[in-house]
Amino acid sequence: MPSVYTVASREFSDIIHSKRFIILVAVFSIVFMVGMASIYLTVLSMAQGLGIAMPTGFLGRAASIIASSMSYFAPIVGIALGCDAISGEREKGTLKTILAQPIYRDTFITGKFIAAILAVSIAVSIASLVNVGGSIVILGVTPTSEDIARLALFIVFSILYAISYYGIAILLSTIARRTTQSVIVSVTLWAIFTFAIPIIASLVAYMYRPITGIEIIQRPGGNVTIRRPSPEEMQRIIEQTRARATITEAINSITPNYHFTKIIQYILGFMQGGLNQSLSIYQGLVSAWPNILVLVLVACITLIASYMVFIRQEAR
Amino acid sequence: MTSIPEYVIETYGLTKVYRSGGGAVVAVDKLDFTVEKSSIFGLLGPNGAGKTTLLMMLTGLTLPTNGSGRVLGYDIVRESREIRRRVGFLPEGFGFYEHLTAEQNLEYIAALNDIPKPERRKRIEDILSLVGLYEVKNRRVSSFSRGMKQRLGIAQALIKDPELLLLDEPTAGLDPEGSRAFKDLVLKLNSEGRTIVLSTHLLFEVGPLCSSIAIMNRGRIVVQGRVKDLISKLMSEVGYKIYVEVRGDLGKLASALTGMEGVRGVRIGVDSLYVDSTRDIRVDIVKIASDMKVEISSIRVEEPSLEDLFIRYYRGEASNA
Ligand SMILES: Nc1ncnc2c1ncn2[C@@H]1O[C@H](COP(=O)(O)OP(=O)(O)OP(=O)(O)O)[C@@H](O)[C@H]1O
Ligand SMILES: [Mg+2]
Q: Which residues contact A49 (CB under 8 A, 6 or more apart)?
A: none
In 3D space, the residue among A313, A195, A213 whose CA is nearest the CA of residue A255 turns out to be: A195
Contact A75, A191 (CB under 8 A): no
Closest ligand 1 atom to residue A314 Cα is 1
Environment class of residue B139 by beta-carbon count within 10 Å: exposed (0-12), middle (13-18) or buried (19+)?
Answer: middle
Output the pLDDT for position A214. 64
Q: Tell the residue nearest (CA) to atom 12 of ligand 1.
A: B27
- Residue A163 inside a domain? The answer is yes
The three-class DSSP label of residue A221 is coil
Output the pLDDT for position B1. 47
Output the pLDDT for position B208. 77
From A312's Cα to the closest Cα of chain B, the distance in A is 8
Output the pLDDT for position A47. 77
Output the pLDDT for position A137. 81
Q: How far is CA B129 from CA B106, B119, B123, in A?
A: 13, 16, 10
In 3D space, the residue among A21, A264, A240 whose CA is nearest the CA of residue A121 turns out to be: A21
- Residue A209 inside a domain? The answer is no
Q: Is B18 in the pocket of ligand 1 (CB under 6 A)?
A: yes
Contact B294, B253 (CB under 8 A): yes
- Say whether A314 and B156 touch across the interface (CB within 8 A): no
Output the pLDDT for position B110. 96
Output the pLDDT for position A283. 84
Which H, E and C letters describe chain B, residue by residue?
Answer: CCCCCCEEEEEEEEEEEEEECCEEEEEEEEEEEEEECCCEEEEECCCCCCHHHHHHHHCCCCCCCEEEEEECCEECCCCHHHHHHHEEEECCCCCCCCCCEHHHHHHHHHHHCCCCHHHHHHHHHHHHHHCCCHHHCCCEHHHCCHHHHHHHHHHHHHCCCCCEEEEECCCCCCCHHHHHHHHHHHHHHHHCCCEEEEEECCHHHHHHHCCEEEEEECCEEEEEEEHHHHHHHHHHHHCEEEEEEEECCHHHHHHHHHCCCCEEEEEEECCEEEEEECCCCHHHHHHHHHHCCCEEEEEEEECCCHHHHHHHHHHHHHHHC
From B1's Cα to the closest Cα of chain A, the distance in A is 35
Rounded to the nearest angstrom, the distance between the alpha carbon of A158 and the centre of ligand 1 is 45
Q: Is B198 in the pocket of ligand 1 (CB under 6 A)?
A: no
Q: Is A316 in the pocket of ligand 1 (CB under 6 A)?
A: yes
Q: Tell the residue nearest (CA) to atom 11 of ligand 1.
A: B27
User: Mutation test of the interface with chain B: which of A101, A105, A177, A310, choosing the one with the most B Cβ atoms within 10 A?
Assistant: A101
Residues of chain A contacting residue B94, judged by C-beta atoms under 8 Å apart: 93-94, 96-97, 100
| Cβ of residue B163 closer than 8 Å to a chain A Cβ | no
User: Mutation test of the interface with chain B: which of A1, A4, A87, A99, choosing the one with the most B Cβ atoms within 10 A?
Assistant: A99
**Backbone phi and psi for residue A279, each to the nearest 5 degrees, phi listed first:** -85, 125
- Residue A308 inside a domain? The answer is yes
Output the pLDDT for position A31. 74
What is the value of ipTM here, to two decimals? 0.83
Nearest-CB residue to A102 (from B91, B113, B157): B113
| Cβ of residue B134 closer than 8 Å to a chain A Cβ | no
- Residue A65 inside a domain? The answer is yes
Rounded to the nearest angstrom, the distance between the alpha carbon of B48 and the centre of ligand 2 is 7
**β-strands B240-247, B272-277 pairing:** antiparallel
| Cβ of residue A6 closer than 8 Å to a chain B Cβ | yes
State pLDDT tens for residues A66-84: 788 888 889 999 999 999 9
The three-class DSSP label of residue A177 is coil
| Cβ of residue B78 closer than 8 Å to a chain A Cβ | no
Q: What parts of chain A have a pLDDT lower than 70?
A: 1, 32, 36, 54-56, 211-219, 221-222, 224-227, 270-278
In 3D space, the residue among A31, A135, A131, A28 whose CA is nearest the CA of residue A77 turns out to be: A28
Output the pLDDT for position B321. 39
Give the ligand whose atoms come closest to the C-alpha of residue B56: 1
Q: Is B27 in the pocket of ligand 1 (CB under 6 A)?
A: yes
Query: For residue A275, what is the enclosing H or E element?
Result: strand A274-275
d(CA A68, CA A80): 19
Output the pLDDT for position A278. 63
Looking at the structure, give the CATH architecture of the domain made up of residues B7-232. Answer: 3-Layer(aba) Sandwich (3.40)
| Cβ of residue B61 closer than 8 Å to a chain A Cβ | yes
Residues of chain A contacting residue B160, judged by C-beta atoms under 8 Å apart: 102
**Backbone phi and psi for residue B4, each to the nearest 5 degrees, phi listed first:** -75, 125
Q: Which of residues 15-74 of A touch B (CB under 8 A)?
A: 17
Q: What parts of chain B have a pLDDT lower than 70?
A: 1-5, 204-205, 207, 306, 314-321
Nearest-CB residue to B61 (from A2, A100, A102): A100
d(CA A181, CA A78): 16
Contact A306, A105 (CB under 8 A): no
Output the pLDDT for position A270. 62
Q: Is B320 in the pocket of ligand 1 (CB under 6 A)?
A: no
Residues of chain B contacting residue A107, judged by C-beta atoms under 8 Å apart: none
Question: CATH number of the domain at B239-301, please?
Answer: 3.30.70.100
Domain housing A294: 4-194+270-315
From A165's Cα to the closest Cα of chain B, the distance in A is 25
Q: Where are the domains of chain B?
A: 7-232, 239-301
The reply to whether domains B7-232 and B239-301 share a CATH topology is no
In 3D space, the residue among A246, A236, A244 whose CA is nearest the CA of residue A214 turns out to be: A236
| Cβ of residue B113 closer than 8 Å to a chain A Cβ | yes
Give the ligand whose atoms come closest to the C-alpha of residue B43: 1
